[in-house]
Amino acid sequence: MVDTIFIGGRVFTGTADAPVEAAVAVGGGRVLLVGDQETVRASAGPDTEVVDLAGGLLMAGFQDAHVHPAFGGGQMLRCDLSAEHSVEGYLAVIAAYAEAHPDRTWVHGGGWSMDVFPGGTPTRQMLDKVVPDRPALLTNRDGHGAWANTLALRLAGLDRDTPDPVDGRIEREPDGTPQGTLHEGAMTLVSGHVPVANAEEAYAGLLAGQAHLFSMGVTGWQDAMIGAFPGHPDNYDAYLRAAGESKLLARVVGALWWDRERGLEQIPDLVERRRTGQVGRFNATTVKIMQDGVAENFTAAMLEPYLDGCGCATANSGISFVEPDLLREAVRRLDALGFQIHFHALGDRAVREALDALAGARTANGANDNRHHLAHLQVVHPADIARFAQVGAAANMQPLWAAHEPQMDELTIPFLGAERAALQYPFGDLLRAGARLVAGSDWSVSSPNPLWGVHVAVNRTVPEGEPGEPFLPEQALTLAQALTAYTAGSAWINHLEDVTGTVEVGKYADLVVLDRDPFAGPPEEIGSTRVVRTYVEGRLVHQA
C-alpha cells in the first residue's frame, strides 16, 4: 500500500552526483518506488497523501555524526545564551532568567561565544552585576570553558592559592585571584557544586533536542557523549527510557564516554553499558575518547607550541588528555572487543596520537569493520592526511567552523601562526587522499543546521551576513560531496548504510523536503535553503 507520494520536484538519491527528475512513493515506512511522475502518480490509492514538492528537493534525511542533543535540548530549557552574540545580550538574558526563576539556587546554562569577550575570557564582575545574590555558572558554546560569578568561585573554595588542575586552567587576575573563566578540567572545580538536573529534566531535554534536530531535517545521529556532564545526569538513562517508551524516533548510536580520570579498569564497565544499552532505535556501541581540547583556549594538542600576542613561541603546546601509551593500549583493547572508537582530535598532535593508536590496533588485531573516526580535525599535519585511509579511519568533519569569523580570525589564527593556520579543516585533501568523509554539527557547540554546514563546506564562507574572503578555498567540497557526507557518510559510520542514507527502493523512508533545489541556484545561496518536512520511516515528524 502506498501511503505517500512526492511529486513536483527533483530527488537527490545520493547514488549520483546530481538530482534526478523523479517522484517517490513510500509505504510501510519504506521507499517503494523511485520513478517518473506519471508512474508514481499511478501507484497512488484513494488514501495516499500527495506531497507537492513545489520545485523543491527531496533527499535522504540528514544524519549528524557528532552531536549532543540531550545537552543541547537541556540548555534550551535553562539559561540559554545561544541566540545572542554580545555582552549586553548575554547579560540581559541572564538577568531575565534569574528574575523568572527566583527558586533556582544556581543560575545555570550556557551558549556564550568566546569571541564576544576580550581574550575570550568573561569576568566574574560582569556576571556579578546581574546575579549578585546566588552562584552562577554558564558554559561556553563549545563546552570547553565556563563563566562563574564571585559567589560560585567562593562556594567552590577557589582562591589565589588554588592550583590549576592537570587537565585545565583557571584564568586569573594580576594577584592570582580567579578571574571568572575556567578552562577544561578547571570547570569541574565549580560544576561539582551545581545541582544535577533530575531524571525528568534530562528526559525533557532529550525530547526537546530531538524535536529541534527534526526541524533541521536530521533523522539520525551519533551522540558524542553518553555519560554524565557537569550539571547534567547521565543521558544514558534518558535514552533508554525514550527508546523503551518508543519516544526516541530518530536512529541513534551512542558514544560511551571514556573517563580520563580512570584507566583500563573502566573497560568492563563499558562492555556492560554496551550490553544493556541497545534498546529500540538506540545503540550504545561506540566509545568516545576526548584526546585534547580546543585551540581558542590553547588546550588543543599541537606538535609545536602556540604563539603569544607578539608572534613568539610560548611554552604551551596544549594538552593530551589521555597519555599516548595508555591511549594505544586502550584503543587496542577496545578495538579487539568490537567497539567503534570516536575520537575528539582537534590539534595536529592529537590527530597523530589517535592515528598512531589506530595503526597499532590494526597491527595487533587485524583489519575489521569497527569504523573508527576522528572528529573536528581543525589542524592536520600534511604527513598524516594519507594515514586516514591507510588505517581505515573516517574523517568526521564539522564544516560550519571552516570559515573566517571572529573566533577564527581573532582567537585562533594569531596564536597558530600563518603556516599552521593554513592546515585547518583540510576536507578536500582528506577526500582526495581516500578518506571517507562523515559530517556533524557538534550542537550545542554550534548550529545543528546541516544546510549551513554544507554551505560552508562548499563556499568556505559563513552562511549568513557578508561572506567575505573564502577560508582556504582549495579545501572546498562540491555540493554533492558535502550532502553525501551528511547523509550516506554518516549512515555508514553508524552501520546504517544498508537501510538509510540514500533514497533507494527498500530503504527506510527517512526523508527531508527542502524548499528549493540548492543544485539549481548559486552556491552562495545554499545556506538560505530551509527544511519544509522531515520524515522518519514514512512518519511526518516535522512540518514548517
pLDDT digits (tens, 9 = 90+) for 331-375: 999 999 999 999 999 999 999 999 999 999 999 999 999 999 999
Rounded-to-integer distance, Cα 128 and Cα 241, Å: 39
Q: How many CA atoms lie within 13 A of 518 on its CB side?
A: 27
4: cell is 505517500
Burial 66-86 (b: 16+ CB within 10 A, else e): bbbbbbbbbbbebbbbbebee
User: Do residues 301 and 318 make contact, with C-beta atoms less than 8 angstroms apart?
Assistant: yes
Question: Which residue carries 554496551 as its cell?
Answer: 274
Rounded-to-integer distance, Cα 309 and Cα 497, Å: 47
- Tell me what the mean pLDDT of segment 210-234 comes to: 91
- Tell me what the mean pLDDT of segment 469-479 comes to: 98
Rounded-to-integer distance, Cα 144 and Cα 76, Å: 18
pLDDT higher than threshold 80 for residue 229: no
pLDDT digits (tens, 9 = 90+) for 274-311: 999 999 999 999 999 999 999 988 999 999 999 998 89
Q: Which of 82, 202, 186 is nearest to 142 (CA)?
A: 82
Measured CA to CA in angstroms, residue 205 lies from 71, 211, 268, 450 at distances of: 7, 10, 29, 21
Which amino acid, one-letter code, is at 53? L
Q: Which of 87, 107, 69 is nearest to 226 (CA)?
A: 69
Rounded-to-integer distance, Cα 221 and Cα 490, Å: 8
pLDDT digits (tens, 9 = 90+) for 12-32: 999 999 999 999 999 999 999
Q: Is 211 helix (H, G, I), strand (E, B) or coil?
A: helix
**Which residues partner with 375 through β-bridges?**
344, 396
Q: Which helix (H) or strand (E) segment is 65 a member of? A: strand 62-67
pLDDT at 143: 74
pLDDT higher than threshold 90 for residue 196: no
Rounded-to-integer distance, Cα 139 and Cα 16, Å: 42
- Tell me what the mean pLDDT of segment 464-471 comes to: 90
pLDDT-derived band of residue 189, with 50, 70 and 90 as boundaries?
A: very high
User: Do residues 341 and 364 make contact, with C-beta atoms less than 8 angstroms apart?
Assistant: no
- The overall average pLDDT reported for the chain is 95
- Tell me what the mean pLDDT of segment 154-182 comes to: 93
Q: Is 377 helix (H, G, I), strand (E, B) or coil?
A: coil
Rounded-to-integer distance, Cα 197 and Cα 300, Å: 29
pLDDT at 231: 63
Weakest mean pLDDT among 91-105, 228-242, 371-385, 471-485: 228-242
CB proximity list for 87: less than 8 A, separation 6 or greater: 116, 117, 122, 126
Weakest mean pLDDT among 47-51, 116-120, 258-262, 342-346: 116-120
In the chain, pLDDT over 90 holds for what percent of residues?
86
pLDDT at 466: 84
pLDDT higher than threshold 90 for residue 230: no
How big is the CA angle at 478 (ends 395 and 437), to the nearest 5 degrees? 15
Helices (H), 319-435: 324-336, 348-365, 382-385, 387-391, 406, 413-416, 418-421, 427-432
pLDDT digits (tens, 9 = 90+) for 396-407: 999 999 999 988
pLDDT digits (tens, 9 = 90+) for 378-435: 999 999 999 999 999 999 999 999 999 988 998 899 999 999 999 999 999 999 999 9
DSSP strand pairing (145-148 vs 136-140): antiparallel
Which amino acid, one-letter code, is at 380? V
Selected residue with higher pLDDT from 194 and 33: 33
pLDDT at 253: 98
Rounded-to-integer distance, Cα 526 and Cα 515, Å: 11
Q: What are phi and psi of 531, to 5 degrees?
A: -85, 130
